Structure formats: C-alpha cells, structure tokens
C-alpha cells in the first residue's frame, strides 16, 4: 500500500512539473512573440519635392539621424528628395492615404486644406516673417491645424522658414506696370493665380520639378521662389534677373500622416516631435545666415539683382487680395487688413 501511495505521489509530482514547464514555456513563447511583434521595425517614407542639398533636405537628414539614434533603429527614416515620388500634389495624396508617412510642403498644403483660414500663403500681404509667425500663433493658426487633420488626415508637427520669395525673369521689372503680359510660372495654387493675374501677368501653374525645363523652352518667361530654390535648381542658367519683390515670407510645413502617428507609442511620438523641433530650429538658423550668401552667389552666377519699391507692388496687388479674401472665414480679413493699408 505504501509503495502504491509513493508511486502515486511521484507520478503527481512529475505531472505537475511537466505541466508547469509546459505552461512556463508557453508563457515565454507568448511573451517572446509579443516582444517580437512590438519590436517590428517601423519605417517612415519621407517625400521631399525640392532638390537634394537644400537646407530643408539637410534638416530632414538631421531628423532622420536623431530619430534612428533615439529609437535604436526601431524607427528607420527613408528620405526621397528631388520629387522622386512625385510633385507636391502627388505627395499630398500619398500622405493623406498613408502611402507615405511624412513630407514637407510649401504653401500648397494649407491652400488646399485650409484656404479660408490661411492668408500667410497669399503673396503681397505680410511685410515680414515676424508678422507671419504672429498670425500662426493666433487663433486662426489653430484653426489651420484642425483643418489639416480633419480634411487632409495629417498633423502639422513643424514650421521651417524658407526665406522671402522673389521674382526671376529675363527682362528688367522695376515697377508693377512692367509685369503686364509676363508669362509667370506659379505653383498649382488657385489663389496665387488670382493675385498674379490681378497684376497683369499670365500665371501658369507648373509643378516645381518641371520649372527649369519650362523656363528653358520658353513655356513661361518668369517664376518666383526663395533664393535657396533659385540657386539649388540652377535657375540662373535660364533667367537673367532676380526682382527683389520679397512678396511672400513663407514656410515649409512639416507634416505626418495622422493615422500613422496616432498608432505610435507615446515615447516614439515624442521622439519624432523633438527631432522635428531640433531640425527646423537648425534650418531656421541656417536660412537666416544664408540669404545674403545666396544673393551673392546668384550675382556671381550671372544674375542681376533688381531692387524695387516693395510697397508699390503690394498696393498693386490689393484688388487680387480682395478677390481672394471673399473666400476667407469671418475674422481673417480683420487680422490682416492693417498690413495692406485697408
């Protein structure tokens, strides 16, 4: 009888040990599987429409380095500069659907998703960059961000200075009347077409990556952009003059797909936000230092810089600005009318 009891106890102990080991193994496997699932690499496809080497592209490279280091490569960032994934309009559709996760846009972004709230993207309104930041930091800046999320499925995570936009041509422009009949390339932004048309030009929307060839083949006579883009795209090879209108102090808008961002762990979200903050701050510092240097380089490349009465051009654009303002939300006109002397 004692032998039987002993054998039963031994058997029970063995079964207990086997079951326990099995449960522990299953638990370990489950934990390992969960850990493996959580540590699956996250990839950010980052499209940039401007040429490699520009300040914003260098800022994006800095962003990539910071994110990959801070996450130990749990997040990898693949940069696609030079519009290799398409122009800005293409990138807007791609990021809205989640085909890409991040991008940097010029004025076309808010012109599509928040036109009634954002006059900062309209030429000849704001006299300096400080005025633009003041608007962004006000109540309508928040409305723009909300519209981007609701309509574009993107979150604005950074603003980066671009430098003032100036006109380039193959003939001297000294006063607003000289613009009459000028075939000018503008981005694919309807409000810009309205304003430039009111100045007597013949605006033609063309994607940025096609601008050089359009100027070279005389499809258009002129274009407008910050010094950084004019120089990096070598537009001095196909344009003789830079007309220093400084008609728009605009920004690059750094955005991320909302669904992608919201599905990240909070610590990863913060790393991305911090990296954008550091990269855009670096970009802002660089552009401030580089404006005079770029103007000198354009001169050395053969372009003639024409100084003009900027206030005269801004006054001449008022009819176009008023036409655009018909589509603004209540209160926006009151925010900006002082800048144009109304």
As a whole number of angstroms, the distance between CA 336 and CA 342 comes to 9
pLDDT, tens digit, 9 for 90 and up, residues 171-192:
999 999 999 999 999 988 899 9
With H, G, I as helix, E, B as strand and everything else as coil, classify residue 283. Answer: helix
As a whole number of angstroms, the distance between CA 78 and CA 213 comes to 28
State the burial class of residue 33 (Cβ atoms within 10 Å of its Cβ: 0-12, 13-18, 19+): exposed
The yes-or-no verdict on residue 254 having pLDDT over 80 is yes
- CA proximity to 262, closest of 250, 277, 273, 248: 273
As a whole number of angstroms, the distance between CA 104 and CA 92 comes to 10
Residue 287 Cα distances to 137, 209, 269, angstroms: 21, 22, 27
Q: How confident is the model at residue 38 (pLDDT cuts 50, 70, 90)?
A: low
pLDDT, tens digit, 9 for 90 and up, residues 3-18:
444 444 445 444 454 4
> Residue 186: its pLDDT value, please?
94
DSSP 121: G
pLDDT, tens digit, 9 for 90 and up, residues 271-312:
999 999 999 999 999 987 888 899 999 999 999 999 999 999
pLDDT, tens digit, 9 for 90 and up, residues 178-229:
999 999 999 888 999 999 999 999 999 998 889 999 999 999 999 999 998 8
pTM, two decimals, is 0.78
The stretch 46-56 carries a mean pLDDT of: 92
> Residue 319: its pLDDT value, please?
96
Q: What are phi and psi of 77, to 5 degrees?
A: -115, 120
Q: What is the dihedral of CA 45, 51, 54, 56, to 10 degrees?
A: -30
**Residue corresponding to tokens 């380089």:** 297
User: pLDDT > 90: what percent of the chain?
Assistant: 79
Cα 7 from chain centroid (whole Å): 76
Residue 302: left (phi > 0), alpha (psi -120 to 50), or beta?
A: left
Residue 234 Cα distances to 51, 107, 136, 279, angstroms: 10, 22, 32, 25
Does 3.30.70.270 match the CATH number of domain 41-329? no
> Residue 48: its pLDDT value, please?
97
Q: Which long-range contacts (CB under 8 A, 24 or more apart) does 62-68 make?
A: 62/275, 62/278, 62/279, 62/282, 63/275, 63/276, 63/278, 63/279, 66/271, 66/274, 66/275, 66/278, 66/279, 67/271, 67/272, 67/275
pLDDT top residue among 107 and 238: 238
Q: Which long-range contacts (CB under 8 A, 24 or more apart) does 216-219 make?
A: 219/183
User: pLDDT > 70: what percent of the chain?
Assistant: 88
Mean pLDDT of the chain: 90
> Residue 39: its pLDDT value, please?
65
Residue 232 Cα distances to 63, 86, 162, 286, 289, angstroms: 21, 18, 13, 15, 16
pLDDT, tens digit, 9 for 90 and up, residues 130-179:
999 999 999 999 999 999 999 999 999 999 998 899 999 999 999 999 99
């Amino acid at each position: 009888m004692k032998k039987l009891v002993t054998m039963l106890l031994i058997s029970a102990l063995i079964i207990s040990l086997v079951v326990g080991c099995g449960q522990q193994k299953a638990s370990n496997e489950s934990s390992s599987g969960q850990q493996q699932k959580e540590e699956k690499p996250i990839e950010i496809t980052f499209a940039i429409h401007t040429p490699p080497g520009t300040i914003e592209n260098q800022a994006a490279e800095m962003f990539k380095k910071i994110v990959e280091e801070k996450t130990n490569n749990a997040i990898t960032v693949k940069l696609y500069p030079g519009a290799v994934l398409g122009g800005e309009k293409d990138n807007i559709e791609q990021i809205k659907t989640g085909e890409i996760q991040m991008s940097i846009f010029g004025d076309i972004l808010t012109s599509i998703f928040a036109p009634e709230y954002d006059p900062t993207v309209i030429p000849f309104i704001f006299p300096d960059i400080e005025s633009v930041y003041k608007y962004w930091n006000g109540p309508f800046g928040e409305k723009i961000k909300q519209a981007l999320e609701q309509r574009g499925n993107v979150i604005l995570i950074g603003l980066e200075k671009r430098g003032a936009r100036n006109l380039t041509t193959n003939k001297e422009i000294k006063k607003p009347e000289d613009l009459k009949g000028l075939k000018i390339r503008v981005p694919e932004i309807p409000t810009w077409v309205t304003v430039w048309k009111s100045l007597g030009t013949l605006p033609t929307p063309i994607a940025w990556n096609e601008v050089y060839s359009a100027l070279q083949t005389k499809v258009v006579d002129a274009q407008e952009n910050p010094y950084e883009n004019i120089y990096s795209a070598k537009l001095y090879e196909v344009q003789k003059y830079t007309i220093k209108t400084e008609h728009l102090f605009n920004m690059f808008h750094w955005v991320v797909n909302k669904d992608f961002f919201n599905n990240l762990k909070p610590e990863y979200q913060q790393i991305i936000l911090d990296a954008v903050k550091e990269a855009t701050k670096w970009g802002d510092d660089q552009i401030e230092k580089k404006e005079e240097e770029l103007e000198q380089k354009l001169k050395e490349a053969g372009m003639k810089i024409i100084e003009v009465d900027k206030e005269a051009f801004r006054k001449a654009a008022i009819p176009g600005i008023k036409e655009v303002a018909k589509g603004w939300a209540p209160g926006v006109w009151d925010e900006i009318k002082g800048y144009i002397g109304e």
